[in-house]
């Protein structure tokens, strides 16, 4: 009896959590429908709420924004808009901080979250999975001798919170696993282990 109940849980719990996360994303993106006049919203035209239409509208807005800002005129509009934000004290700090982080994360040439690492943390003898986010900068480099890297150590099971560390490059181990595999490993609290790397591929890399 207990065996069947646990088997049922193993089937339904992942499905329920996946459905809950997707529903939360759809509800959030459906808020973009508030940009439309009340008379043009789907629930007014159709007489009932259709989930997911806001997702299409959000994707369309993002695509059109990229299309418009990719040319010369769009770049001038962006600089004009950022010039306005730069004159607002609190907004300026928040906007440029978020923009710098997003530019780094989504840059195809950046190093942020491109490599999974094995680091000794929070004490000697304990190891955890982390991600490389770049190299230390600013006045910090004047106090660090040798080659250092910036590391993000996520918490489990919520990887969006964690710790930012600067560690000697010689003290970290670069793992042969993708970022997706590393995230699954962290979120599952070590239950979902990534497959072993190909020994031949490791030998060739060395």
Q: Where are the domains of the chain?
A: 2-106, 116-193
Average pLDDT over residues 78-82: 84
Percent of the chain with pLDDT over 70: 91
- What CA–CA distance (Å, rounded) separates 157 from 189? 6
The CA-to-CA distance between both ends of the chain, in Å, stands at: 52
- Give the range among 32-41, 57-66, 172-181, 185-194 with minimum mean pLDDT: 32-41
- What CA–CA distance (Å, rounded) separates 189 from 206? 30
Ranges 53-57, 77-81, 126-130, most confident: 126-130
- Measured between alpha carbons, how far is residue 176 from residues 48, 136, 141, 180, 200 in Å? 50, 24, 28, 12, 12
- What CA–CA distance (Å, rounded) separates 168 from 189? 26
pLDDT band at 163 (very low <50, low <70, confident <90, very high): very high
Judged against a pLDDT cut of 80, whether residue 2 lies above it is answered with no
Judged against a pLDDT cut of 90, whether residue 127 lies above it is answered with yes
Q: What local confidence, expressed as pLDDT, does residue 108 receive?
A: 56
């Amino acid at each position: 009896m207990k065996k069947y109940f646990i088997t049922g849980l193993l089937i339904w719990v992942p499905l329920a959590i996946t459905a809950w996360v997707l529903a939360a994303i759809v509800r959030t993106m459906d808020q973009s429908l508030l940009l439309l006049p009340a008379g043009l919203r789907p629930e007014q035209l159709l007489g009932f709420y259709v989930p997911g239409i806001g997702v299409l509208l959000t994707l369309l807005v993002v695509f059109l924004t990229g299309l418009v800002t990719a040319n010369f005129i769009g770049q001038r509009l962006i600089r004009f808009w950022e010039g306005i934000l730069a004159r607002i004290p609190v907004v300026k700090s928040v906007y440029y901080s978020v923009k710098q982080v997003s530019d780094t994360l989504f840059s195809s040439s950046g190093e942020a979250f491109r490599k999974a690492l094995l680091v000794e943390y929070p004490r000697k003898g304990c190891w955890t999975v982390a991600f490389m986010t770049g190299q230390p900068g600013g006045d910090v480099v004047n106090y660090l001798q040798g080659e250092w890297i910036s590391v993000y150590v996520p918490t489990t099971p919520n990887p969006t919170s964690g710790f930012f560390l600067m560690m000697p490059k010689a003290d970290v181990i670069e793992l042969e696993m993708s970022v997706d595999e590393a995230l699954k490993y962290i979120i599952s609290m070590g239950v979902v282990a990534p497959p072993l790397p190909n020994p031949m591929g490791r030998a060739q890399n060395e």
